[in-house]
Amino acid sequence: MSADNPDSTVNLNEQKAREQLIDLAADFYDQFARGDIPEMTLPTRTKSNIVFDEDSGVWVYGDRTSTRSANSVRGARKLLKAAYTVEFLANQLDENRSSTLRELYYLSESWDSEEAQFSTQDESNQLVEDLEIVSSVTREDFHMRPEESGAKLMGPLLLREQTRRGDREIHCQEDVGQGGYQIPNNPDTIEFLDHDIDFVMCVETGGMRDRLVENGFDTDYDCMVVHLGGQPARATRRIIKRLHDELDRPVVVFCDGDPWSYRIFGSVAYGSIKSAHLSEYLATPEARYVGIRPQDIVDYDLPTDPLSDSDVNALESELDDPRFQTDFWEEQIELQLDIEKKAEQQALAAQGLDFVTDTYLPERLGEMGVI
Amino acid sequence: MSADNPDSTVNLNEQKAREQLIDLAADFYDQFARGDIPEMTLPTRTKSNIVFDEDSGVWVYGDRTSTRSANSVRGARKLLKAAYTVEFLANQLDENRSSTLRELYYLSESWDSEEAQFSTQDESNQLVEDLEIVSSVTREDFHMRPEESGAKLMGPLLLREQTRRGDREIHCQEDVGQGGYQIPNNPDTIEFLDHDIDFVMCVETGGMRDRLVENGFDTDYDCMVVHLGGQPARATRRIIKRLHDELDRPVVVFCDGDPWSYRIFGSVAYGSIKSAHLSEYLATPEARYVGIRPQDIVDYDLPTDPLSDSDVNALESELDDPRFQTDFWEEQIELQLDIEKKAEQQALAAQGLDFVTDTYLPERLGEMGVI
């Protein structure tokens, strides 16, 4: 992204999005014109069709594909819905408007063909994902806004955001309140202007995020604190990736010590099966896990809870997941199954409110070579 | 709150909080000194002990009380925990630190008396609520931060927030990104400096909040848009009350048309049974419900879903709730039980993306005399 004119990049994406959509509709048209039954080919979106791409370092869809063909009523209806949606999205881009996935679902009720109306929101969500895959642009570039908004930033970064009311220059420590800077739905409207960030730390819970900010961790260590707020929204994952790639800074993830939190780490680092077509846009494969590790439960004698049956199942399923087949994760997950315990990140408070910033994080980040 | 020196108000609250805590500990001491068995008296916190206070216009606890006495091992242990917690909170205020409820729970593991340690977080949460009630100060004044943070503001308001890095002056349209201003955990660190707000609109969903902001509703109508994000956090309810009381502006609530959303309205307007001791601090009894009303489902022919059994039960329970016993709510709830349908606020998109801001809200707010 150019430092002088962020508009150009955003507009370029939108122009590309529009062209790709029109191309897709033109494809249907050409197939009709040739006397072929129209069809649309997509990668198969299952766990077994996820492969590791050595070049980009992320997990992407493999070679297996599925075809949507108009050779059945059901298939023809799917392509009709796709054509209506393409028209809606192209108009939306023309008018510089945006909408949510839920609005698209409801809007379809106003379309003149009843056959084109969506019967469930799953159907319209899925179609938008299909269009992302076939057009190779993201739904943000179609101006489809997510329902969930991004989380909050606090750290030494000056950015410029394009808003509908003009550009805003905001420093993510000096120009914001204690709550931090709210990541917009489409973080590609942000340009990074200047920064003193040494590393980026993603934090699972709001309580821990507030602890780090209260203890001045972001200023003491020139750390960009990113609040994940549980499973991170797309906007949050995108900004983490951009902080890593554009500013060339290490990214670490600080979560609870349980299998669900390892999945949160996974969604930052590896992306998800559902959105493997977006891994290169959303995943930060260089992200590393600070803790809470099962090893920390032992080393720091943390207050724990016993593993539930569903925790054990989730850990076992992670051992089977190709994305977790590294020495680090196999060792940690096996240790956890062995000690049968989990711990929350806020459990560090059992050794005092400053233990996390004075002892735990400096030790862990030192071992990892981050500080 | 003084326009010149917000510090004085916040510090006054903290000083009062500290004094009240010390008084409570002194009470225990005096009871011991007199040879009495120490005890603590609290209002009974049940639905049947909620009464409407005509003066303040909010629902508060009635006259029934329960007593915690040290005349049993269980009771004595409760008072021991209270004494330890009072000491921790008084120290926290001395040092100008803060912590979360979850940290308090874990911190208790470091206390020298094992008998004083909390066995569940429910126990420590409940104790902090008890201390709020007996001391008549809020847990924010004890510097107990909530886990959930407040939601977002967008509208014509210039405010000053005291942060740990100094004061920040922020205009909630001109100095923020598309995501808006993030309400801090304790909104009493905010002072309102200047504004052009005509009315305050609280919005349940992020999708609708973004729709209003995209369509420029906050600028066209000089409206302060407050994103509730589902059941609103205490910080969000507090800022709504302050916007109403200090700026003397009407507050309206815009939610989905289902019984769970009426409860969201209820928590803004009436407060909750669990926190009736805070109603005067958190509730805005003058808040009015814009919609979606069951009447709107009929009038605007909105796309709907059928009521589930739990929806019906929730509606019937609302009819029994003294806080919903008004003509408006009885009529609307009975209509909804009759039509057996519910609708989301984003269902308005079935009539186009601008219908909500061009037609629905102007009509409803006009009928209500707000615009």
CATH of the domain at B200: 3.40.1360.10
Using a CB-CB distance cutoff of 8 angstroms, which residues of chain A are in contact with residue B106?
303, 344, 346-350
Least Cα separation, residue B315 to chain A (angstroms):
25
Which of A241, A245, A301 has the alpha carbon at shortest distance from A271? A241
Which residue of A95, A99, A102, A103 is the best one to mutate when testing the B interface, meaning the one whose CB has the most B CBs within 10 A?
Answer: A103
Before A333, cis peptide (omega within 30)? no
Q: For residues B265 and B328, is the Cβ–Cβ distance under 8 A?
A: no
Please report, for residues A245, B245, B270, the alpha-carbon distance to residue B280 in angstroms, rounded to integers and kept in the order given. 49, 11, 9
- All residues of chain A having their beta carbon less than 8 Å from the beta carbon of residue B175 are 168, 170, 175
Give per-residue pLDDT as tens, A313-366. Answer: 999 999 988 889 899 999 999 999 999 999 999 999 999 999 999 999 999 999
Q: Identify whether residues B296 and B358 lie together within a single domain.
A: yes
The Cα–Cα gap between A88 and B37 comes to 74
**Omega of the bond prior to A292 within 30 degrees of 0, cis?**
yes
Chain segment B24-49, per-residue pLDDT in tens: 889 888 998 999 998 888 888 877 88
Residue B248 domain-assigned? Answer: yes
Query: Which residue of chain B has the CA closest to A205?
Result: B147
Verify whether the Cβ–Cβ distance A206 to B303 is below 8 Å: no
Whether residues B119 and B156 share a domain: the answer is no
pLDDT tens, chain B, 371 aa long: 333 344 445 567 778 888 888 898 898 889 989 999 988 888 888 778 888 887 777 888 888 998 888 889 988 999 999 999 999 999 999 888 889 888 999 999 889 888 999 999 889 998 998 898 888 888 888 898 877 777 899 999 999 999 988 999 999 999 999 999 999 988 989 999 999 999 999 999 989 999 999 999 999 999 999 999 888 988 999 999 999 999 999 999 999 999 999 999 999 998 877 778 888 889 999 999 998 999 999 999 999 999 999 999 999 999 988 889 899 999 999 999 999 999 999 999 999 999 999 999 999 999 999 99
Are A110 and B168 a contacting pair at CB < 8 A?
Answer: no
CB < 8 Å to B161, chain A: 177-178
Residues in chain A within 8 Å Cβ distance of B348: 106
B1 within domain boundaries? no
State the smallest CA–CA distance between residue B57 and chain A in angstroms: 31
CATH number at residue B12: 1.10.10.10
Nearest by CB to B350, from A106, A149, A152: name it: A106
Confidence of residue A285 (pLDDT cuts 50, 70, 90): very high
Shared domain check, B254 and B134: no
Whether residues B69 and B167 share a domain: the answer is no
Best of A220, A345, A346, A356 to disrupt the B interface (most B CBs within 10 Å) is A346
Report the C-alpha gap between A234 and A148 in whole angstroms: 9
- B208 and B352 fall within a common domain: yes
Distance CA B334, CA B312 (A): 11
Rounded alpha-carbon distances, angstroms, from residue B337 to B72, B262, B313, B331, B333: 49, 14, 10, 10, 6
- As a whole number of angstroms, the distance between CA A135 and CA B32 comes to 77
Q: Are residues A131 and A164 in the same domain?
A: no
Counted domains in chain B: 2
Residue A256 annotated in ligand binding: yes
Expressed as residue numbers, the domain containing B180 is 152-368
Residues of chain B positioned with their CB less than 8 A from the CB of A112: none
- Residues of chain A in contact with residue B301, where contact means CB-CB under 8 angstroms, are none
Distance from CA of B49 to the nearest CA of A (A): 33
Query: pLDDT tens-digit profile of B348-368?
Result: 999 999 999 999 999 999 999
Single residue among B145, B176, B200 that ends a domain in this structure: B145
| Residue of B353, B356, B359 to mutate for A, most A C-beta atoms under 10 A | B353
Active site residues of A: 106
Identify whether B302 is part of a domain: yes
Q: Hey, are the CB atoms on B179 and A150 less than 8 Å from each other?
A: yes
Examine the predicted complex and report whether its ipTM is higher than 0.90.
Answer: no
Q: Are B74 and B302 in contact (CB under 8 A)?
A: no
Task: Report the chain A residue with the minimal C-alpha distance to residue B169.
Answer: A175
**Do B269 and B229 belong to one domain?**
yes
Residues A95 and A160 in one domain: no
What's the Cα-to-Cα distance from B171 to each of A21, A181, B157, B182, rounded to whole Å? Answer: 39, 14, 6, 12
Q: What is the DSSP string of A70-99?
A: TTSHHHHHHHHHHHHHHHHHHHHHHTT--E
Do residues A192 and A291 share a domain? yes
Residue A240 has pLDDT above 80, yes or no: yes
Is the domain of B275 the same as that of B222? yes
Please give the average per-residue pLDDT across A18-45, as a whole number: 88
* Domain end marker among B145, B175, B199: B145
Distance CA B223, CA B201 (A): 7
* Shared domain check, A107 and A172: no
Smallest CA-to-CA distance from B241 within B281, B273, B270, B275 is with B281
- Kindly report, residue by residue over A93-142, the tens digit of the pLDDT: 988 888 988 899 999 988 988 899 999 989 999 899 889 888 888 888 88
> Could you give the 3-state DSSP secondary structure of residue A198?
coil
The number of residues in chain B equals 371
Put simply, the answer to whether B100 touches A353 (Cβ < 8 Å) is no
Q: Is residue B23 part of a domain?
A: yes
Tell whether A46 is covered by a domain. Answer: yes
Q: Which of B97, B126, B145 is the last residue of a domain?
A: B145
The reply to whether A119 and A251 lie within a common domain is no
Count chain A–chain B contacts defined by CB atoms under 8 A: 164
Over residues A83-90, the mean pLDDT reads: 92
Catalytic residue among B106, B181, B221, B360, which? B106
**How close B183 gets to chain A, by Cα (Å)?**
6
Yes or no, beta carbons of B174 and A184 under 8 Å apart: no
